[in-house]
Amino acid sequence: MDIGRKLKFAREAIGYTLKKASQESKIGESSISEFENSKREPKFSQLSRLAEVYRKTIDIFLSDEPIIEDTVLWRDKPDSAESKKTEAEFKQLCEQYRRLEVLTDEVKECSLPKPDISKPEEFTFRQAELFAKKAKKWFHLGDVPIASLKRLLEEVYYIKIFYLEYYGSSISTVSNRFGPAILLNVKSKQWRRSYDLAHELFHILTWSIFRAQSAELSESEEKLADAFASKFLMPEESIKERVESSLNEQDQISLDRLDDIAREFDVSLEAILYRVASIYRFEKPDTERYVNAAKAYLELPKSRPSHKPNKLPERYCSLAIRALNEGKLSLMQFAKYMDMSYRQAGEYLAEDEDFKDEKISISIA
């Protein structure tokens, strides 16, 4: 694939018209059109600007390899233009993360739990529940899985997890170039992000099963992912223990106490209510009545605090700083990767040099 075709592919992948690409890059529409139709080649500075606008590395346009777009799964996907822009930014972050791993010789591959079935049509809700239990055991998660889930996925299983502000909900992908990755919406409440993380984890763990058949996400697969997330984040034994220890003499539990349990498991009150209804086999009318009561309860002025997470993973930042200190990443590149100004990036080189080469002696018996 020549440079012209790659430029057109990259522009369309991010959802830009020629006019939009011209506005963003400050390169004339006619020039971009001529580049794409191979009537003339762009200067290196022009190619560099277009690569930046399209959220691609310049190496992609200079190599002989074709551009391959990875399948991306969405919850609550917005319109095409918005989704393409978000996907491009997400993939760029993932590509940068992989480059940092390569530069620091920290490319890690780690096996993940797999379902005991191999065909999508064999995946029932019962299978999703059993798989949630198997995955929880595989990851060695404790009584409250969410407490250590994100750190474990990032630091032990090297799943790339980013936070951006965008339209829509969570996103996941598995790439041959950079591995599994998840994007969560920073605008979502903390407990929604927790549920989204578990939901997208299901898609990553079952990628080879469902994506072998179709790149499209079906409604039934989404329901399976929800079932997995519910069982994974709220194990039956743990929920029953807390609920039954909170019952009054009439075997009732208050919404206040149920909300406390939801907060402990970092899920919504509605989510914990549905989980309790499933465990104790509530009748449908009763479940609906309790859910409506929970919605009214949540309108009371007692909001649960929700912290705003950092856009970039800790491991990503650590690798970027290491690459900078080892001279494998320029200050300009470091600023771009860390989404900061050049002046701010320079502060990472202004620290006391006396400690950088200090070595810790270890006496091995």
| 164 assigned to some structural domain | no
- Give the residue from 246, 274, 298 where a domain finishes: 298
Q: Provide the whole-model pTM.
A: 0.88
Task: Determine the pLDDT at residue 356.
Answer: 55
| 330 assigned to some structural domain | no
**Residue-range definition of the domain harbouring residue 241:** 236-298
CA distance to 32, 51, 81, per residue, from 62 (Å)? 17, 11, 27
- Total tally of structural domains belonging to the chain: 2
> What is the rounded CA–CA span in Å between residue 308 and residue 320?
22
> What is the rounded CA–CA span in Å between residue 340 and residue 334?
8
> What is the rounded CA–CA span in Å between residue 149 and residue 171?
17
Helices (H), the chain: 3-13, 18-25, 29-36, 44-53, 58-62, 80-103, 125-138, 146-155, 190-205, 207-210, 219-233, 236-244, 255-264, 269-279, 284-298, 314-325, 331-337, 342-346
CATH number of the domain bearing residue 19:
1.10.260.40
DSSP string for residues in 86-113:
HHHHHHHHHHHHHHHHHHTT--------
| 273 assigned to some structural domain | yes
- Give the residue from 246, 268, 298 where a domain finishes: 298
pLDDT per residue of the chain (365 residues) written in tens, 0 to 9: 689 999 999 998 888 999 999 999 999 999 999 999 989 999 999 999 999 999 988 888 888 777 778 899 999 888 777 899 999 999 999 999 999 999 999 999 889 999 988 899 999 999 999 999 999 999 999 889 998 999 999 999 999 999 999 998 999 999 999 999 999 999 999 999 999 999 999 999 999 999 988 888 999 999 999 999 999 999 999 999 999 999 999 999 999 999 999 999 999 999 999 999 999 999 999 999 999 998 898 887 766 777 889 999 999 999 999 999 999 999 999 999 999 999 999 988 855 555 556 667 676 76
